[in-house]
Amino acid sequence: LIASEVYRGSTYGRGHPLAIPRIAATMDLIDTLGWRETRRYLEAEPAAPERLIRFHDPDYVAALRRAERDQRLDDAERRHWNIGVNGNPIYPEMFRRPATACDASLKAAHLIARAPATVHALPGGTHHGRPNRASGFCFLNDLALAILDLFDRGFERLVYVDLDAHHGDGVQDAFDGDPRLLVISIHEAGRWPRTGAVADRGRGMARNFALPAGVNDDEFAFVIGEGVLPLASAHRPQALIIQGGCDGLADDPMSGFALSNNALWRAVAELLPLADRVIVTGGGGYNPWALARCWAGMWGMIDGRAPPDRLPAPAESLLRGLTWRRSQGRNPPDHWFTTLADPPRHGAIRPEVRAVVARVTEASP
């Protein structure tokens, strides 16, 4: 498990979807469950610029550092780098924080290159980041850096699976057509960034499960079992990278998916056997209670621990102490405080979901 204290108290600013506790809340919840063991925990620190430029434009990295230092950029630079505009604010830790996510995923790559392991790099998952501009709240792209690092270490067959409700456009485009990497994304069709249509295979190595709103646990399991697993195993991955964004949860405000956290835990559990070297990252997640419970339970599942039926008192009081300035946050249901697992969200597997799986798994689109 890899995380960092840089996230504690860090915010993208009032009114931003990332004005909420995320990594710190998840780690605190993991601690109250007694699930952090010192010998299996690593603290990430900001990756040095020399490591970031393996993927990112040096001038862009310099601009990010300057913006953090000065807390401003002139208008031309803001537009040029997409910083300080479009949801990518200038905020106090705007270089240190994403650079720490990059270090977490690079540390994970180092660990799995050395020996078979599953590493949960919780701060990672910034899948919209571009070489030379910020995008979709992502200033850097830790996933691209980790994948490049694995290539540099001699890996030749990797599979990337993106569970976030938004298309993993930054990763798909970073490696477009590279035969070493199969990029699979499950996301809501028509959501920002509005890319990743079912017919979009990039230059042959991308597969996009663009699903309708309302996807339930059974539909998600169907997509994993009938779609993702056969595609991924056919690539015979030496290592697997799972982007574990949880904004597909029904309790999350940023997508129309209707998942319980059981669906994401089960997806990761079913994907893990594809390779004996796996990196699981975080990603999107915009309801502090839903994301902390989902990611704590994801680490528990990776670490072989079952969620308790009822949370111990310290975990409950931690969750009761979180706040969220959104309407859903004013009247939180009791199970956000008392349980780790959501009630399952079963449902019919709609014909349109079956049709997406059939098209994406076809030999040619």
Q: Does 252 bind Zn ion (CB under 5 A)?
A: no
Take residue 76 and report the two structure tokens written for it: 């031309």
Instruction: Please state, in angstroms and rounded to a whole number, the distance separating the CA atoms of residues 273 and 261.
Output: 20
Identified binder of Zn ion from the candidate list 217, 247, 251, 342, rule CB under 5 A: 247
Helix (H, G, I), strand (E, B) or coil at 138: strand
Helix, strand, coil percentages for the chain (3-state, nearest 5): 40, 15, 45
Stretch in the footprint of Zn ion (CB under 5 A) among 18-26, 50-58, 174-182, 280-288: 280-288
Nearer Cβ to Zn ion, position 46 or 136? Answer: 136
CB of 116 to Zn ion, least distance (A): 29
Stretch in the footprint of Zn ion (CB under 5 A) among 98-106, 154-162, 278-286, 299-307: 278-286
Stretch in the footprint of Zn ion (CB under 5 A) among 110-118, 138-146, 209-217, 237-245: 237-245
The residue at minimum Cβ distance from Zn ion is 284
Helix (H) or strand (E) holding 242: strand 239-243
Q: Between vectors from CA 86 to CA 11 and to CA 123, what angle results, nearest 5°?
A: 40
Q: Does 169 bind Zn ion (CB under 5 A)?
A: no
CB of 1 to Zn ion, least distance (A): 22
CB of 127 to Zn ion, least distance (A): 8
Take residue 37 and report the two structure tokens written for it: 């063991």
Identified binder of Zn ion from the candidate list 56, 166, 293, 345, rule CB under 5 A: 166
Q: Does 164 bind Zn ion (CB under 5 A)?
A: yes
Q: Does 22 bind Zn ion (CB under 5 A)?
A: no
- Residues contacting residue 11 through CB under 8 Å, at least 6 positions apart: 18, 19, 20, 91
CB of 267 to Zn ion, least distance (A): 15
Nearer Cβ to Zn ion, position 195 or 338? Answer: 195
| Closest listed residue to residue 179, CA positions, set 212, 145, 202, 211 | 202
Stretch in the footprint of Zn ion (CB under 5 A) among 176-184, 209-217, 244-252, 320-328: 244-252
**Number of residues forming the site for Zn ion (CB under 5 A):** 5
Confirm if 282 and 244 have CB atoms less than 8 A apart. yes
Instruction: Please state, in angstroms and rounded to a whole number, the distance separating the CA atoms of residues 254 and 123.
Output: 19
Polymer length in residues for the chain:
365
Peptide bond before residue 193 is cis, with ω within 30 degrees of 0: yes
Q: Does 162 bind Zn ion (CB under 5 A)?
A: no
Q: Does 284 bind Zn ion (CB under 5 A)?
A: yes
Contact residues for Zn ion, defined by CB under 5 A: 164, 166, 245, 247, 284
